[in-house]
Amino acid sequence: MSRVTSAFVAALITLVLGGFLLGMSLTSEGINLVVETSTTGKMTVLFVGVVLVFLLQLFREQVGSFTSKMRSDERMELPSFLRTSQQQRMWTMFVIAGLVLFPFISSRGAVDIATLTLIYVMLGLGLNVVVGLAGLLDLGYVGFYAVGAYSYALLNMYFGVSFWVALPIAGGLAALFGFLLGFPVLRLRGDYLAIVTLGFGEIIRILLNNWTELTGGPNGIARIPKPTFFGLEFNRRPSEEGATTFHDFFGIGYSSEYKVMFLYLMALVLVLITLYVIRRLIRMPIGRAWEALREDEIACRSLGLNPTTIKLGAFTIGASFAGFAGSFFAARQGFISPESFTFIESAIILAIVVLGGMGSQLGVILAAIAMTVLPELAREFDEYRMLLFGLMMVLMMIWRPQGLLPMKRPHLELKRD
Amino acid sequence: MTNNLLTVKDLTMRFGGLLAVNGVDLEVKEKQIVSVIGPNGAGKTTVFNCVSGFYIPTAGSVEFRGKELRGKPGHLIAREGMVRTFQNVRLFKEMTVIENLLVAQHMHAEHNLLKGFFMTPGFRKNEQEMMDRAAHWLERVGLLEFANREAGNLAYGQQRRLEIARCMVTEPKLLMLDEPAAGLNPNETKALDELIVQLRDEQGISILLIEHDMGLVMGISDQIYVVNQGEPLAAGTPAEIQANPDVIKAYLGEE
Ligand SMILES: Nc1ncnc2c1ncn2[C@@H]1O[C@H](COP(=O)(O)OP(=O)(O)OP(=O)(O)O)[C@@H](O)[C@H]1O
Ligand SMILES: [Mg+2]
């Protein structure tokens, strides 16, 4: 087939598919559905798209050589002011200080988005343990997030357990679920593992959806209390006899902004703890064993490492972070339903890990910011969110298949006498 | 009970209809270099896989330091003090050289998570010991300057040496090498020859060696076993093997 023909065919396919997807819409007229052709605006977009596909296919080789030039395989070097560990520590302090001050100088909406971003950072970091470090493709991570969220919501609803007591329990329960999932999938790798974990995540969601007596089913659980600040509530009025509110205690006027700020700061603390814990884990025997397992399971066994316990460890510890994040999510939202824990959430968290560069913590943070802040900035493109998401993934695979910031190997100094 | 380090009796491995190993016996004594030779596809690697717990042999016994190990999983056998290399090098390629050696010391490592989080003195001491042992073996195999290089970026000969160092940091009693000289140049082979002899004489460990390089095998082996098409063909000292007419016919003759 000549290049012109193949370009023509590609353009035709775009026209047919796009014509149905963009060019027509269904509107209801009474009880009937009527097919309507779209506005000329959309038609123009479609036409431009078709021409673009035609040209791209026609000049495929030129475009290919251009993108391959764009592709940067070398690792990104750290900028010069971040070379020594002293400088790094100083800048880390600087950034943390900035993050702590952030809610006091920005709008309520921005703080809210930042809190959401922090939740995704935590989820990304947790999944990074399983996927990035241990190399176990887990598509059901959202299941553990759900376990964490429902742990707090249910414990509170039935036993009146407060957030701070429920937080460790939620982490523990999610860890337990991670451990239990670990068992049946011990022998699976790659695609098979992905499918089974995907199923596991769906089972949890469907269970929550159908066990109406316990979980309220699709209606979810509402009025989940917010965390308290050493027992002080952020409500306008105390929720019960004897409780004190934050503004009364400090003798300041009520403002709903305190709550937003507090939630943000709490999420920040949780993320910092997560970062530290995983940073330590990577430098401990268990973290090194995870990576070794990702590299070569047979070599691991030949050196006396038991792949079973290492995998279970990765699933358990990875899931516990989702549990913490989940209970915080429930407390922040005040309302949860199975809707919040669909597969698309798992996909987004996985995208964060992959975009960030498997294994790299800083990469995960950057990717989480990109994945949550960009859609907020591009609100008007909301309809095309998934399209943009796909486009971003494709561009990443062309430009940096290894992720934004691939994991940097720790440099270990040998003391020689 | 014998004073053998390793006694393999009547080892048999069947893959479906294929009898890959049939009735092979092996004995390795303390501080011995024992070689297994045979033509391609003779079943040498399969013997290794059975002994080191990667395959469960169809029949036979594997006794190591007075313990029956047949059918035990590979990682438990490694912990008994029997570690191996692979015919096609298996390093943790994206990890650094030193990290490869730290992972290998997993069984000597401090596993308490809390001690690791809070970096207790005990944990630090343990990590330092592992680093020192790693440095020691890197120096022995001449890779010290590459300590922070990714293992996958090393030259082939260096990767082979790293694999041996990775076994040695586990402090084994028996080291099993599957064709360690394959792909090495004559200089590297000579260095390997010296290293293996040193491991026996200075480290006091035993070595079970699969090798096609007859110069190397005849030069350093205390005992040689010949396998042909899964069957044991002959056993003896290098001189005996070189004089054995069956061996010459089946194996050396082809060379
Ligand atoms: N997992 C397996 N499944 C089926 N057949 C196998 C398996 N492993 C080995 N074999 C067969 O067993 C026979 C012996 O193979 P093995 O690898 O042990 O030979 P070898 O002596 O190590 O040869 P080489 O010198 O080429 O390394 C071969 O015919 C091989 O195809
Ligand atoms: Mg072989």
Q: Does A74 touch chain B (CB under 8 A)?
A: no
Is the minimum distance from the CB of B40 to ligand 1 under 6 angstroms?
yes
Rounded-to-integer distance, Cα B220 and Cα B201, Å: 12
* Cβ pair B87, B123 in contact under 8 A: no
Whether residue A80 lies inside any domain: the answer is: no
Helix (H) or strand (E) holding B175: strand B174-178
Task: Tell me what percent of the residues of chain B surpass a pLDDT of 70.
Answer: 97
Q: Say yes or no: A46 and A95 in one domain.
A: no
List, for residues A393-415, the tens digit of each pLDDT value. 788 777 777 777 777 777 777 76
For B62-84, how does the pLDDT look when each residue is reduced to its tens digit (9 = 90+)?
A: 999 988 998 899 999 999 999 99
Contact A285 B109 (CB under 8 A): yes
Per the document, the length of chain B is 255
Q: State the CB neighbour count (10 A cutoff) for residue A253.
A: 7
Q: Residue A337 and residue A347: Cα distance in Å, rounded? A: 18
* Number of continuous H segments (helices) and E segments (strands) in chain B: 10, 10
**How close is the nearest chain B Cα to the Cα of A318, in Å?**
15
Residue A333, domain CATH: 1.10.3470
Helix ranges, B87-207 (H): 97-104, 113-117, 121-140, 156-168, 186-201
pLDDT at B249: 80
Q: Which residues neighbour ligand 2 (ion) by CB within 5 Å?
A: B 45, 87
Q: At A19, is the pLDDT very low, low, confident or very high (cuts 50, 70, 90)?
A: confident
Residue A85 lies in a domain: no
Please tell me the distance in Å from B58's CA to the nearest CA on chain A: 21
pLDDT given for residue B218 in this prediction: 92
CA distance A377 to A189: 38
> Cα(B138)–Cα(A412) distance, rounded to whole angstroms?
14
Nearest by Cα to A95 from A282, A281, A272: A272
Residue A251 domain-assigned (yes or no) = yes
Same domain, A98 and A52: no
Contact B166 A303 (CB under 8 A): yes
Give A413 to chain B, closest Cα distance, Å: 8
- Beta bridge partners of residue A36, listed in sequence order: A25
The answer on A118 and A12 residing in a single domain is: no
Average pLDDT of chain A?
85
Provide the 8-state DSSP code for B149.
S
The answer to whether A412 contacts B131, with C-beta atoms less than 8 Å apart, is yes
Q: Cα separation of A98 and A234, whole Å? A: 24
β B59-64/B67-68 pair status: antiparallel
Euclidean distance between CA atoms A126 and A110, whole angstroms: 24
Same domain, A148 and A99: yes
Nearest CA to ligand 1 atom 23: B41
Identify the domain containing residue A140 by its residue range.
Answer: 91-399
What pLDDT sits at residue B251?
64
Label residue B15 by pLDDT band (50, 70, 90).
Answer: very high
Q: What is the three-class DSSP state of A100?
A: helix
Q: Indicate if the pLDDT at residue A296 is higher than 60.
A: yes
Q: Looking at chain A, which residue has its C-alpha nearest residue B124?
A: A284
On chain B, the residues whose CB falls within 8 A of the CB of A273 are none
Range of weakest confidence among A250-254, A291-295, A323-327: A250-254
Instruction: Report if residue A217 sits inside a domain.
Output: yes
Q: Tokens for A294, please give them.
A: 């990702």
Residues 6+ apart with CB under 8 A from B27: B2, B4, B6, B7, B8, B34, B223
Mapped onto helix, strand or coil, the DSSP state of residue B184 is coil
Q: What is the pLDDT of residue A78?
A: 59
**Sequence-distant (≥ 6) Cβ neighbours of residue B190 within 8 angstroms:** none
The Cβ of residue B198 has, within 10 Å, a number of other Cβ atoms equal to 11
Is the CB of B87 inside a 6 Å radius of any atom of ligand 1? yes
Q: Calculate mean pLDDT across residues A163-178.
A: 95
Specify the range with the lowest mean pLDDT, choosing from A2-11, A38-47, A360-369.
A38-47
Residue A58 and residue A142 in one domain = no
Of B170, B169, B172, B167, the closest CA to residue B180 belongs to B167
The answer to whether residues A211 and A319 belong to one domain is yes
CA distances from B222 to A95, B22, B232, B244 (A): 64, 24, 18, 16
Which residue among B21, B24, B44, B225 is best mutated to probe the pocket of ligand 1, counting the most ligand atoms within 8 A of its Cβ? B44
Do you know the residue count of chain A? Answer: 417
Q: Domain total for chain A? A: 2
Q: Is residue A299 part of a domain?
A: yes
- ipTM reported for the complex, 2 dp: 0.91
C-alpha dist (Å) from residue A152 to A202, A241, A324, A331, B119: 20, 23, 10, 8, 32
Q: Is the beta carbon of B45 within 6 A of some atom in ligand 1?
A: yes
- Residue A368 placed within a domain: yes
Helix extents (H) in A334-414: 343-356, 361-377, 385-399
Q: Could you tell me if residue A415 is inside a domain?
A: no
Between A4 and B27, the more confident residue is B27
Write out the H or E segment, with its range, that includes residue B126: helix B121-140
Helix (H, G, I), strand (E, B) or coil at A27: strand
**Span B135-192, pLDDT tens digits:** 999 999 999 999 899 999 999 999 999 999 999 999 999 999 999 998 899 999 999 9
Domain end residue (candidates: A19, A35, A69):
A69
Q: Are residues A58 and A122 in the same domain?
A: no
DSSP output for A197-266: HHHHHHHHHHHHHH-HHHH-GGG-B--PPPP-BTTEE-SSS-SSTT-EEHHHHTT----HHHHHHHHHHH
- Give yes or no for residue B11 having a pLDDT over 80: yes
Residue ID of nearest Cα to ligand 1 atom 8: B46
Instruction: Tell me: do A109 and A47 sit in the same domain.
Output: no
Say how far apart CA A139 and CA A215 lie, in whole Å.
24
Q: What pLDDT score does A145 carry? A: 96
How far B223 CA lies from chain A's nearest CA (Å)?
Answer: 25
Same-domain check for residues A281 and A327 = yes
Q: Does A296 contact B90 at a Cβ distance shorter than 8 Å?
A: yes
- The domain B1-81+172-255 is placed in CATH, from the list 3.40.1280.10, 3.40.50.300, 3.40.190.170, 3.20.20.120, at 3.40.50.300
Considering the domain architecture, whether residues A154 and A261 belong to the same structural domain is answered as yes
Sketch the domain layout of chain B as residue ranges.
1-81+172-255, 90-171
Structure letter (DSSP) for residue A411: P
Is residue A82 in some structural domain? no
Q: How many inter-chain contacts (A to B, CB under 8 Å) are there?
A: 118
Q: What's the rounded Cα separation, in Å, for the pair A134 and B32?
A: 38
Q: Cα(B197)–Cα(A58) distance, rounded to whole angstroms?
A: 65
Pairing state of beta strands A244-245 and B33-37?
A: unpaired
**Does A285 contact B110 at a Cβ distance shorter than 8 Å?**
yes
* Atom 3, ligand 1: residue with shortest CA distance: B15
CATH code for the structural domain at B90-171: 3.40.50.300
HSE-up of residue A294 (Cα within 13 Å, Cβ side): 21
| Mean of pLDDT values over B183-207 | 92
Q: Tokens standing for A337?
A: 């339903």
